[in-house]
A and B are shown apart, each in its own frame.
Chain A
């Protein structure tokens, strides 16, 4: 009689790109957070009156040029982030480092521009529903940008430690992946809160 007992597979689980997959899950979770915040914003805006776009702003002026330039800066940083990844995969550490540093500088510039724009708008927490929700959604997006910057900086440190090449660039690739998501998240926030208002 044949032995039909199933044999168990032995060995450690193989996770060649575990960090990339984990970043994907983090992006999915953060996307739901942003969606929840923006959905709440849109729902409250929708319920604010017949002409919600103008009524609940209550005289506040959105400085469009500043926000547009901030968005352009963020998009430029995506290009430099991918430049860093491209260089890292080819073991071109000089270019990789220049690109990572440029990305971080552009990211910091973006944060500065957004905060400047908020100051220019003279938003005041507690002065109305729009300022409260605008602060909450913008703050969440900015927090994601800061997390993305720290992630890029840390993975940049790994690349200076020699984590380069086609396989070695996976950590940096994960950070760039998250940075791409950050740009998408900010675009959605910007469009909902400062364009559609």
Chain B
């Protein structure tokens, strides 16, 4: 006997196929003999798609779907991978409209989250012992995770902060650097002075700082770098500039046009 799913999809096939045929015949009866391509093709494909789903339902039995003994119930470990995937998708979207590098970063995040999610889902179903599952998961993925996240935890903040520095003017970049360094120092001092501070507060502060850094980095990348102009090279025979790399240096437009000369005696 056919199950509920098989009967449902079989009905859908009949409706879609009948609609495609009727539309094709009716629109083909006019003087040009041309059928309405769009509707006919879409309805015909819908019938084919429902046929695929019917075949799937039939091949899988389409029977009782209740696990009375709860033999397939596995406790799942909470994971951040869906959040990470969503974040990667957001990065990709922002990157596609602003900066290609951010788009690549978003794509890399999605791929990484997908791999992590897959391995976690696989490990969750190994047994009903979550600790053993976590050990097995780490055995497989930790050799990749540790170097990858170690490198990323250095590279991403450096990259984001560099975007902020490049977008701000030269003097503002200095102030921002000073402010950030002071904040890090103050935070470290508070942690040292008040070791009993709740971990949740520390975690919240770190997450807020990370989110702020990401927003600032992406916004700065969208704004773009400030204008740089090549430095004019002064070739005075009396002045020795062999060790200077000013010829390849760049400085801001706002700087004084005639920098002070340093005469080496």
Contact = CB atoms under 8 A, between A and B. Distances in A.
Interface stretch (B63-71, B152-160, B167-175, B201-209): B63-71
B38 interface: yes
Given A15-B72, A24-B53, A161-B122, A35 B45 contact: yes
Nearest to B60: A17
Contacts of A158: 118-119, 122
Q: Which 4 pairs, one residue from A and one from B, show the smallest C-beta to C-beta distance? A: A35-B45, A39-B41, A14-B67, A28-B49
Interface stretch (A40-48, A89-97, A119-127, A128-136): A40-48
B46 A35 contact: yes
A25 B119 contact: no
Given A28-B49, A150-B111, A10 B68 contact: yes
A191 to B, nearest CB: 13
B50 interface: yes
Contacts of B41: 35, 38-39, 42
Contacts of A16: 60, 72
B69 A11 contact: yes
Given A32-B45, A154-B115, A15 B53 contact: no
B6 to A, nearest CB: 13
Given A21-B56, A161-B122, 15 more contacts: A12-B73, A14-B64, A14-B67, A20-B56, A24-B53, A24-B56, A32-B46, A32-B49, A38-B41, A39-B42, A43-B38, A46-B34, A46-B37, A154-B114, A161-B119
Interface string A153-168: 0110110010100000
Given A12-B67, A27-B52, A32 B42 contact: yes
Interface of B: 34, 36-42, 44-46, 48-50, 52-53, 56, 60, 64-70, 72-73, 111, 114-115, 118-119, 122-123, 140
A10 B68 CA distance: 6
A13 interface: yes
Interface residues of A, number: 33
A140 B103 CA distance: 19
Contacts of A21: 56, 60
Interface string A161-196: 101000000000000000000000000000000000
A64 to B, nearest CB: 24
A157 B115 contact: yes
Contacts of A46: 34, 37
A154 B118 CA distance: 7
Contact of A157 (B45, B64, B118): B118
Given A14-B72, A161-B122, A150 B42 contact: no
Given A39-B37, A42-B41, A11 B70 contact: yes
A30 B72 CA distance: 30
A31 interface: yes
Given A10-B68, A20-B60, A43-B37, A25 B53 contact: yes
A35 B43 CA distance: 9
A14 B70 CA distance: 8
Contacts of A17: 60
B67 A11 contact: yes
